[in-house]
């Protein structure tokens, strides 16, 4: 049964009811009009909200060509690999938590020397990777990468003091608490940076 049929039946019933029915009919028409008006406004409001949400989503997108996207993606992947190695060796050189040391001091010195050299090499590699791609990276990310390199250099400098002939501190072989905290800071900052880069890449819309 469609709406027209229902309305005809309603009219027939109202007609049978006489003058009182006319008042009822008027009330029905008014109520129906009011309900329809409210439903229309509610639907328009919903459409408006959905449209604003869609517009906001579009405005937050950055449109780039596929070639540029692939280039940036490869750059950030290369940087991620280089700085992961930096983080790995710095945290091996100066672990943020408890670590075991060999009873044989000569063998331990060999391990320390190897870890130190690997850390220096990792810093140099990360730095070269950064500056080679400097023009293609946003300033925000560049500053964060540079900060990681600076913190890593501080760690190697702290470690070098045990070999400094001008350092007469009897405790020079022992690192202070700040050095251990700094290794943890480097790791956290790298994780945060990679998260920001992932969000940035997700915001890009590729134009074919």
Tens digit of pLDDT for each residue in 48-62? 666 565 455 545 567
What share of the chain in percent tops pLDDT 70?
A: 61
Tens digit of pLDDT for each residue in 3-15? 455 555 555 655 5
- Mean pLDDT of the region 79-107: 84
Stretch among 7-11, 38-42, 69-73 having the lowest mean pLDDT: 7-11
* Chain centre distance of CA 171: 42
Confidence at residue 58, expressed as pLDDT on a 0 to 100 scale: 47
Give the integer Cα–Cα distance in Å for 126 and 142.
Answer: 12
DSSP state of 162: G
Place of tokens 């075991």: 100
Confidence at residue 168, expressed as pLDDT on a 0 to 100 scale: 42
Task: Identify which has the larger pLDDT, 56 or 95.
Answer: 95
Confidence at residue 153, expressed as pLDDT on a 0 to 100 scale: 97
Residue 167 has pLDDT above 70, yes or no: no
pTM of the complete model: 0.66
How does residue 170 score in pLDDT terms, banded at 50, 70 and 90? Answer: very low
What single string gives the DSSP state of each residue in 170-191?
TTTTSPPHHHHHHHHHHHHHHH
Give the integer Cα–Cα distance in Å for 104 and 6.
Answer: 98
Residue 189 has pLDDT above 60, yes or no: yes
Helices 66-93 and 177-202 cross at an angle (nearest 10°) of 170
Q: State the chain's mean pLDDT as an integer.
A: 78
How does residue 34 score in pLDDT terms, banded at 50, 70 and 90? Answer: low
């Amino acid at each position: 049964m469609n709406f027209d049929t229902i309305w005809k039946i309603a009219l027939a019933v109202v007609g049978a009811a006489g003058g009182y029915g006319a008042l009822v009919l008027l009330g029905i028409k008014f109520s129906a009009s009011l309900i329809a008006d409210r439903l229309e406004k509610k639907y328009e409001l919903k459409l408006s909200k959905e449209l604003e949400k869609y517009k906001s989503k579009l405005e937050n997108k950055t449109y780039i060509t596929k070639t540029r996207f692939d280039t940036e993606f490869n750059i950030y992947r290369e940087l991620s690999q280089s700085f992961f190695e930096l983080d790995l060796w710095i945290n091996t050189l100066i672990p943020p938590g408890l670590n075991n040391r060999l009873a044989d001091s000569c063998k331990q010195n060999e391990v320390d020397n190897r870890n130190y050299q690997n850390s220096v090499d990792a810093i140099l590699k990360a730095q070269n990777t950064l500056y080679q791609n400097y023009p293609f990276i946003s300033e925000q990310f560049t500053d964060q990468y540079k900060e990681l390199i600076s913190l890593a250099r501080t760690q190697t400098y702290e470690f070098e003091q045990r070999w400094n002939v001008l350092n007469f501190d009897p405790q020079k072989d022992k690192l202070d608490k700040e050095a251990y905290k700094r290794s943890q800071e480097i790791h956290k900052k790298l994780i945060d940076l990679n998260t920001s880069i992932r969000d940035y890449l997700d915001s890009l819309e590729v134009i074919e």
